[in-house]
Amino acid sequence: MKDSNATVSQLGVLKQKLHSTKAALDEMNEDRNAKLQALLQFIGHLSLACKGQSLELDNKLAKLRHNLGTYERIDDVLPDLVDVERLLKGQYHHVMGQLEEGRSSLSKFSRQLQRVDSMPERLKKEVSYFKQELGKPFHTVWDYIPKVEQLVGFYEQLLESQFESESPIAILPKHRQLGHELAQMISNIEFRKDQRDQVLVIKELLASTEIDVEALLEAYQTILSLLLDNIAREKTASQEFLFALNDALSAVREVVSDSYNQSQRSHQLKSQLNRELNAQVDNVGASLVDIDDITELKQQISEQLATIRASLARKEALEQREQALLRKSIETMRKELNDLSSEATTYKERLFEQQKLNMLDTLTQLPNRAAMEERMEQEYRHFQRNKQPLWLAVADIDHFKSINDSFGHTTGDKTLQVIAMALKNSLRDTEFVARYGGEEFVLIIPDVSPKDIEQLLNRVREKIKNIPFKFKNQRITVTVSIGAAQILDGEHIQETFERADAALYKAKHESRDRVIID
């Protein structure tokens, strides 16, 4: 009887252990699901860091982020990761294509250079050797930039050989026209902050009536060098970020694939262990039914309990190994994410500065035409939602050409800067002013009633008229003419702009220094 009670007690302990094992298995599954969610969250953050490379890549990443919450297993995410990796490789090939186009352009320029009959013999040989070197493809932007510098050096040597003669080259009308066109192009190009002083010197030189052909060529060469430097910076930054991004995603894909394979193997081993445990428990039950001898029963149950303990030990070792591998995978991906986040932050800061530069007029520091068009679209969408009054006004400086002709382009530039600041200070935070081009400015004015708009614009006009301009000890009054129009229901904002521009034309041709409301 004692032996029977002991057997029942051992069975109770065994059931308790099985219950504990099942609870541990459930906890393990919950922990594994939590790790899976952490992995998916990591992939989501990684996809955000990849944003901004191309429209197709952005769409694929957005779809990936949208679907992350629906994934239940690691292998569910693999097809989307394969698509993203394919797009990244495509973007890399696009950069390589741009480098190939640059190589073709350099070949074209070198062929044109070889057509110059007066080129010194030594320089001809150098250009010929340079052209042969261009037969090799460029692998990075650092292969491209030295070749550009070398080609510019050839042009410099050719120019020096042409200008060794003492007789100066006569200034022709076409040279002055080229100088004027270069000045116009410079005004429409956004340069970096550290380049602006150099560009300003060139603009003042081009505005001078004493410029010679050599100075004009140097101005073209300087501007070309500045532009090439900007292009090289952007290409290098983009290429470096794409390489880092591709490496990080490849590493993540490898970790996810390894984790998936390990998970599959662990699942198979756990299933096998569970089957063995169930079979061993069944054997205990069968022994209780089939064996009547207490001694034999105790021996049989002891052997089966030993087998069960061994299976539980194997299962525990398997779970610990799986946990260690999972922790290692998570740590690897966390490191990749930290490295990539650092790269992305630097790249995004540069992109932000470039976007800010592209939306700013260099001379007046007002938003430029591109920024104006973007703001117009925003205000138009806002108008379509709430139907609040929205006005467009076009302001033009009266007789601005005479200021340039009489006092010089530098004075004209300073006049534009002062008037731009006056316009900006005349408006509320919700209102917007941009330099449209030349001496024209565009104002976007929301939430002003028709009875108040003329008074507001006249106040702006009077403020500019009262600015005490003084050029060469001569007091000058500068005025502006303004045309304005309110957007109508069913009208696109571009049509409103055309009506405001027509109102400005009317103000200019009637008497100037006035406001006309369409």
What pLDDT is recorded for position 188?
63
Q: Is residue 129 part of a domain?
A: no
The domain tally of the chain equals: 1
Of the CA atoms within 13 Å of residue 181, those in its CB half-sphere come to 7
* 303 occurs within a structural domain: no
Contacts made by residues 32-40, CB under 8 angstroms, sequence distance 24+? 32/263, 32/326, 35/326, 35/330, 36/71, 36/72, 36/73, 36/74, 38/330, 39/74, 39/256, 39/259, 39/329, 39/330, 39/333, 40/68, 40/69, 40/71, 40/77
The H or E element that residue 183 is part of is helix 173-188
Q: What is the spatial distance between Cα 139 and Cα 156, in angstroms, rounded to a whole number? A: 27
Per-residue confidence (pLDDT) for residue 482, from 0 to 100: 94
- pLDDT tens, N- to C-terminus, the chain (518 residues): 555 666 667 777 777 777 777 777 777 767 666 666 666 666 666 656 656 656 666 676 667 666 666 656 656 666 777 777 777 777 667 767 777 877 787 787 777 777 776 677 788 888 888 888 877 887 766 677 787 787 778 777 777 776 654 445 555 566 667 777 777 777 666 676 777 778 787 777 777 666 676 777 777 777 777 777 666 666 555 556 556 566 666 666 666 666 666 666 766 766 676 676 666 666 666 666 666 667 766 776 677 677 767 767 776 776 677 777 767 766 766 676 666 666 666 656 665 555 555 677 878 888 888 888 888 988 998 888 888 899 999 999 998 888 888 888 888 888 999 999 999 999 888 899 999 888 999 999 999 998 899 999 999 999 999 998 888 788 889 999 999 999 998 888 889 999 999 999 999 888 889 999 98
In a domain, 484, yes or no: yes
Residue 426 placed within a domain:
yes
Do the domain assignments include residue 128? no
* 404 contact partners, CB below 8 Å, separation of at least 6: 411, 412
Query: pTM for this one?
Result: 0.41
Phi, psi of 390 (to 5 degrees): -140, 125
CATH at residue 499: 3.30.70.270
Using alpha carbons, select from 497, 496, 500, 495 the residue that is nearest to residue 483.
Answer: 500
Contacts 24+ apart (CB under 8 A), 500-509: 500/392, 500/393, 500/394, 501/394, 503/394, 504/394, 504/395, 504/396, 507/481, 507/482, 507/483, 508/396, 508/398, 508/481
Domain with 487 in it: 369-517
End-to-end CA distance of the chain: 111
pLDDT attached to residue 267: 65
Q: What is the DSSP string of 387-402?
A: ---EEEEEEEETTHHH
How much is the pLDDT for 61?
Answer: 66
